[in-house]
Amino acid sequence: MKPTSAAVLRSHSSDYLHAHSSALRDLRRTTLRALGALLIFGAAVLAGGRANAQAPLPSGVAAPVGQAVAIFAGGCFWCVESDFDPVPGVISTTSGYTGGKTANPTYETVSSDTTGHAEAVKIVFDPAKVSYRQLVDRFWHTIDPTTEDRQFCDRGTSYRSAIFAVNTEQLAQAQASKAALDKTKPFKEPVVTQILPASAFYPAEDYHQDYYKKNALRYKFYRTSCGRDARLSSLWGDLAGK
C-alpha cells in the first residue's frame, strides 16, 4: 500500500525537524565554545592588566602622590646631593645604597665592594616643575661617565656611575639621553655609565644625609682634594654641573 500524502508530509516534516534540531545543537555548541574561549581570553587579559597595574615597585622607591623619583649613582653621594638640591622642582634628596644583592647594607659593607651596591641618591621631584629628562641631562654634567667602577678619586664598584630607572618610561628616556650624548659629547672616550631598572633602595646612615650642609668645610675640602670639579670642567667645559 502506498503511503498517504499526509504520512509522507509527516515523514518529511520529521526528517526536517530532526536535521534542523541537530544543526541547532551543533550551532549552540560552537557558539558556547566560542563564548567560553572569549571569556577565558578576557579573564586572562584582565588578570594580566591587573598584575601589571599592581606590580609593586622595589622597596624604598615609591614616590608620594603627584611627585616622582629619580635614582642616580654618581660616586660620592654627598656630592650628588649637593648637585641636585638646588635644582628648581627638586623636593628632597636622600643618600643611600642600591643595585646590590644583600638586604639592609651599611656603609662599611658597601665600601668593602662585596654587596654589589652603589652609593646613590634618591631624588624626589615635582614633574610639573622639572622633567625626568632634564634631571638625567643634568646628571651627565655632574659625573665622569668615562670611568668604570670609579668616580674621581674614589675607586671601587660602589663608586660606579649608574642611572636606576623606576619604570619603563624612565628607562627609555635615560637610554635616549645617552644616545644623544654619544653623538654630542665633547670628549672621545666612550660613555660607560650603566642604565638599569631600579632595585631596592636603602637610605644611608643619618650622618651621611645632608653631609655637605652639616659639615660644610670638610665637604668642600673633600670635593676639592678629590678633583671632582676640576675633572668636570675638563670634560664638560661650560656645561659642567649644569
- Closest Cα to residue 122, out of 169, 74, 159? 74
Residue 111 has pLDDT above 60, yes or no: yes
Domain count, the chain: 2
| One domain for residues 44 and 8 | yes
pLDDT at 2 over 70: no
- Averaged pLDDT, 65-87: 98
Q: Report the pLDDT value the prediction gives residue 55, as an integer from 0 to 100.
A: 58
pLDDT at 56: 76
Residues in the chain: 242
Query: Looking at the domain assignment, is residue 60 inside a domain?
Result: no
Q: Cβ distance 70 to 210 under 8 Å?
A: no
Q: What is the bridge-based pairing of β-strands 150-151 and 154-155?
A: antiparallel
pLDDT at 189: 96
* Residue that is last in its domain, among 55, 76, 94: 55
Q: Is position 62 within any domain?
A: no
Written as nine digits, the cell of 228 is 671632582
Note down the domain range covering 224.
68-239
Quick check: is 76 catalytic? yes
pTM of the predicted structure, to 2 decimals: 0.77
Residues 28, 138, single domain; the answer is no
* Annotated catalytic residue, options 76, 79, 153, 226: 76
pLDDT tens digits, 124-137 = 999 999 999 999 99
